Structure 1
Amino acid sequence: MIRLLTPPRLQCKRSTRKLFLLSLLFSAQVGLAKTKDPVLDSIVKEATQNSQLETLAHELMDVIGPRLVGTPQMQQANDWAVAKYKGWGIAARNEKWGEWRGWQRGISHIDMVHPRVRTLEGMQLAWSPSTKGKGVTAETITLPETVTDSMAFQKWLPNVKGKFVLISMPQPTGRPDYNWQEFATKESFEKMKAERTALTEAWRTKMAKMGYTTRTLPVALEKAGAAGVVMSNWSNGFGVNKIFSAYTKKIPTVDLSLEDYGMVYRLTASGQKPKINVQAESKERGMVPTFNTIAEIKGTQKPDEYVILSAHFDSWDGATGATDNGTGTLVMMEAMRILKKIYPNPKRTIMVGHWGSEEQGLNGSRSFVEDHPEIVSKIQAVFNQDNGTGRVVNLGGSGFLHSYEFLNRWLAPVPTEIRSHIQTNFPGAPGGGGSDHASFVAAGAPAFSLSSLSWSYGTYTWHTNRDTYDKIVFDDVRSNAILTAILAYMASEDPTTTSRERSVLPANQRTGQPGTWPAQTKPTRKGGG
């Protein structure tokens, strides 16, 4: 903290001193009035009085839905965004970066038909093969209770033929730990945790002895003639599971809720021989082109220098991808809309990138960086948002030595009620690949993550079946749009060009070797097969 020294007390009459102080105060007020930027006020006013966030969210999440790479919904979202930008008078295009296995989700319906009838909560995983006609009905089977080694498992493997195989560990409780902490006795809570730890360790040991992983086991079961694979990837919260991709090519892979999976597992283990019917409709579409959506407001003084707003457009499809990364998408679209209306003639070009296939390895942004070195070399700054619905609370310097100078300068005019929540960290560390700003950092461009408050993101919405419109906190998203628009404006107007000088990274604590800057990684341009 910098301390200001008080000047020596003036030796004058009391009335003269009062007049002097009043004159200073008046001069300060005049100075503030002269330096107040009407663009900043207009950005805040437009964002608060004419917000389009709710409409954009409804159209993207409710109408279009999830945006799994290679699906018709992803292409629909690309085209929708281009139309939106053009409607706001912003030049926009879909830019092909590669191709992916095309797949279209259909109806998932899973029923237990024996020993009683119950419709189960579950869905097929992304890229799961479809079932035919009325689906597949078969008995369920668990993995063997104990396994001595991989040879013993190979001898057991023929037992799965014609059956649905339950491959996930049954959870001992569907209550998240915070619920136990609130209501259980300490002894009961500790007992549950000990039992869960022992069960988890025993399951890991069994999987290791079997010689398979969660990725390779479904393939082995498919080759052995299983009717399908049933799993439950619990996300440690009430009613919430992670939904990723299937590894089977011919038989369906489905995920059941913890509650229903546990019931079917117990019935199977107790010898009740339950049967389930799985209807998993989907359509293979071959390899399809994949795109980034790019829009830009051309600079008037330095058109070949760029301020880039960044958010990945794709999502997993367990739900509608509202907070991963629908909210980041909304922030960038709303910021661009506001800037076009309030600041239509920026000094530098303001560009937005809605990247494809971030979830499979930053493929869209890595492709853009690889394809456009002429842009990357002239980037003033990249602002990326990709971690939920909360207001931005962290901004680091991504390892750029002088980032504190320009980021603090750009943050200064942000309204106090937004800026006061943000902790800065300089020079910070370069992103290694968690989100799309890392693609630019690896290429040496100053790119920064606008990291937000959690709202239980990791448990309840990140890659889950509960990542839906109702989880969006629009007040926080609106604050983020204001912040982003102001940062873009300040970065565009800044008379100086940002420094790319890198800080010396600390040594790796594990190896003792000097820290190294992340290397630029080639994208996967053809995938999903």
Structure 2
Amino acid sequence: MKKLSCFFVLVILLYGNASIAQKKDPVVDGIVKEATENSQLEKLAHELMDVIGPRLVGTPQMQQANDWAVAKYKSWDISAKNEKWGEWRGWERGASHIDMVSPRVKSLEGMQLAWSPGTGNKAVVAEVVIVPDLADSVAFQKWLPTAKGKFVMISMNQPTGRPDYNWQEFATKESFDKMKKDRDALTEAWTKRIAKTGLNGRTLPVALEKAGAAGIVMSYWSKGFGANKIFGANTKKIPTIDISLEDYGLLYRLAESGHTPKISVRADAKDMGVVPTFNTIAEIKGTERPEEYVILSAHFDSWDGGTGATDNGTGTIVMMEAMRILKKMYPNPKRTILVGHWGSEEQGLNGSRAFVEDHPEIVKNIQALFNQDNGTGRVVNMSGQGFLNAYDYLGRWLSKVPEPIRTPIETRFPGAPGGGGSDFASFVAAGAPAFSLSSLNWSYGTYTWHTNRDTYDKIVFDDVRNNAILAAILAYQASEDPVKTSRDKSVLPLNSKGEPGVWPEIRKATRKGGID
């Protein structure tokens, strides 16, 4: 009897193992194998970030990237096109050369802001002064004429160039606490100084420009070694430049101590007039339900302090790689798999909002949308975005993802609908089940998000490869699912005023940007 029992146990185990083997999905296995053994991520990243570079809306580089993506998809036998959604102020960055020429000579680390006017193919040499601390806006208006012909510093001088984590590691508690207290006091004093001009960060440069200043000098430190955030200029005729914390502090101290620093600035830039703006759209047509859509989503544009590597070059190449793999391993999906590379996300989700406006026939038939944006890290969070039954279908699809990729992902159901932040929110507002594949931090906010350090070398390709596998499997599962996803919305919690929560409203895209 013992031997007979052992025999039956063995048969059951063998049958069970055979059943497990039968349940293995050859498409999932193929996706993992292709992504692992034939990854194109490094090549795509090099071509996009190193060769083309940053992709500021309205620049030739953005248009070059759109055309590159279409050509790349077509080389994979995937239908692709650039779809115009609006117009923007055209601009092209040239070289920035910034040198201190008095009281000594030193090359400074800095660059002009996006859409900054150039210096007319010549260097401008002028004294550097600090925006003064005056009694009120009347006193400031009296001072303004003295800014004529000078570079005016409008940022606070940081008391330390060391990030807080560096202080925490090496400083005494008393020293760290004292630094933070002093910094808070300086920040409050600087805020009051600017407020007393009667202006703010946007209007102050304009007033200085009207007064005849030679240029605006600022430093937007990102609270990490060597990292500054680089956004757009508010001036139309004079250059606005951002200088590293270290060099800005040098100029500030020299000006404050009466040593009259002078700098030489040559900022080359081209005004390109009004240019068209595009989304790049590619698709693998569905065979059974072609009018239903699974969408892979990532914004294509970037700021141009670095090369837009982690915001959002990584999201872009994740979705391109996922589409390449799907075309090879799953060439005949049941539903149409569409990828959207959106323009002008950085100025307010404009490309994706325009797509929602222009394609209601697609939006109403979205099975699911997966968006990746926030950096190079592996995906560790997914929210149901307020869709009541998202736990059901997302849970089923995620169960097919290999355990090492699936296990670290925390899910929150039903979650709350995203009102902004990235392009999935454009679709959530329209009631479409759209989800953010949210990534591990990798010091994103400090070191790469909108900074001069957002470059190829910050990409963690092992994590990006995991994300490409995840996106491809989710798209495959969403396409295969025999059930159309539910769009039922959860009852939102009360807001801070005790009022019922409200679903985000659809917002219109800005179709003409940077144009007076």
CA distance in 2, matches of 1:14, 1:379: 58
Cα-to-partner distance string for 1:307-353 (whole Å, 9 max, x where unaligned): 00000000000010000000000000000000000000000000000
After superposition, the CA RMSD in angstroms is: 0.8
Q: Secondary structure at the match of 2:441?
A: coil
Contact 2:121 2:267 in 1 (8 A): no
1:524 matched to 2:507 = no
Matched with 1:304 is: 291
Q: Under a length normalisation based on structure 1, what TM-score does the superposition of the two structures give? A: 0.96
CA distance in 2, matches of 1:452, 1:133: 43
CA distance in 2, matches of 1:282, 1:241: 20
Question: Cα offset for 1:16?
Answer: 4.0
Matched with 1:42 is: 30
Assess, with a 3 A threshold, how the Cα gap between structure 1 residues 133 and 490 changes in structure 2: closer, same or farther.
closer
Matched with 1:187 is: 174
* Residue range with higher mean Cα deviation, 181-190 or 132-141: 132-141
Cα-to-partner distance string for 1:381-436 (whole Å, 9 max, x where unaligned): 00000000000000110100000000010000111110011000000111111000
Matched with 1:117 is: 105
Matched with 2:394 is: 407
Name structure 2 gaps, 5 residues minimum: none
Cα-to-partner distance string for 1:427-485 (whole Å, 9 max, x where unaligned): 01111110000000000000000000000000000000000000000000000000000
Contact 2:151 2:217 in 1 (8 A): yes
CA distance in 2, matches of 1:84, 1:336: 11
Matched with 1:285 is: 272
Correspondence for 1:233 among 220, 234, 238 = 220
1:200 matched to 2:187 = yes
Matched with 2:323 is: 336
CA distance in 1, matches of 2:122, 2:89: 26
Spell out the pairing of 1:265-284 with structure 2 (5 A cutoff): 265-284=252-271
1:70 matched to 2:66 = no
Cα-to-partner distance string for 1:151-209 (whole Å, 9 max, x where unaligned): 12111222211100000000000000000011111111111111000000111112222
Name structure 1 gaps, 5 residues minimum: 1-12
Q: Secondary structure at the match of 2:341?
A: strand
CA distance in 2, matches of 1:401, 1:209: 50
CA distance in 2, matches of 1:508, 1:225: 48
Structure 1 stretches of at least 4 aligned residues deviating more than 3 Å after TM superposition: 13-17
Spell out the pairing of 1:411-422 with structure 2 (5 A cutoff): 411-422=398-409
Matched with 1:217 is: 204
Q: Secondary structure at the match of 1:79?
A: helix
Matched with 1:358 is: 345
CA distance in 2, matches of 1:208, 1:219: 15
Q: Percent identity?
A: 75
* Residue range with higher mean Cα deviation, 152-161 or 78-87: 152-161
Cα-to-partner distance string for 1:193-243 (whole Å, 9 max, x where unaligned): 110000001111122222111111100100111110000000000000000
Contact 2:66 2:280 in 1 (8 A): yes
CA distance in 2, matches of 1:52, 1:141: 50
Report the AA paired with residue 505 of structure 2: A
Matched with 1:129 is: 117
Report the AA paired with residue 513 of structure 1: E
Correspondence for 2:72 among 84, 96, 116 = 84
Cα-to-partner distance string for 1:471-508 (whole Å, 9 max, x where unaligned): 00000000000000000000000000000000011111
1:450 matched to 2:437 = yes
Matched with 2:451 is: 464
Contact 2:121 2:268 in 1 (8 A): no
Question: Cα offset for 1:14?
Answer: 4.0
Q: Secondary structure at the match of 1:77?
A: helix
CA distance in 2, matches of 1:363, 1:493: 31
CA distance in 2, matches of 1:109, 1:90: 43
Report the AA paired with residue 327 of structure 1: T
